């Protein structure tokens, strides 16, 4: 088994109203040191097999085509072997 994690977040150049609202809420709660917040998504996947390279190349395509929109988002894909239960 392989466990994959995809972090999708808005590009720095794109205004992120959710991040902005979260940042202001944190400041409102008294933690004024927080100056920026960005809200993204974390997608966790479990795959059959143990070939990490093959899984990575398959998932890179999925990340670009489906899980993120390159016009507004960046993604980070990490994979690791998972112990079978």
- Other C-beta atoms closer than 10 Å to the C-beta of 37 total 16
Residues 6+ apart with CB under 8 A from 48: 1, 2
Q: Which helix (H) or strand (E) holds 74?
A: strand 73-81
Residues that bind other proteins (CB under 8 A): 14-15, 17-18, 21, 41, 66-67, 69, 71-72
Shorter beta-carbon distance to other proteins: residue 26 or 52: 26
Shorter beta-carbon distance to other proteins: residue 33 or 66: 66
Shorter beta-carbon distance to other proteins: residue 16 or 55: 16
Q: How far is the CB of 19 from other proteins (least distance, A)?
A: 10
Q: How far is the CB of 34 from other proteins (least distance, A)?
A: 18
Return the bridge partners of 8, or none: 41, 75
């Amino acid at each position: 088994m392989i466990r994959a994690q995809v972090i999708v977040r808005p590009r720095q150049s794109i205004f992120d109203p959710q991040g902005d609202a979260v940042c202001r809420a944190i400041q409102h709660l008294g933690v004024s040191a927080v100056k920026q917040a960005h809200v993204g998504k974390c997608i966790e996947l479990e795959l059959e097999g143990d070939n990490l390279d093959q899984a990575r190349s398959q998932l890179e395509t999925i990340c670009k085509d489906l899980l993120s929109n390159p016009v507004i988002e960046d993604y980070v894909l990490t994979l690791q072997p998972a112990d079978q239960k």
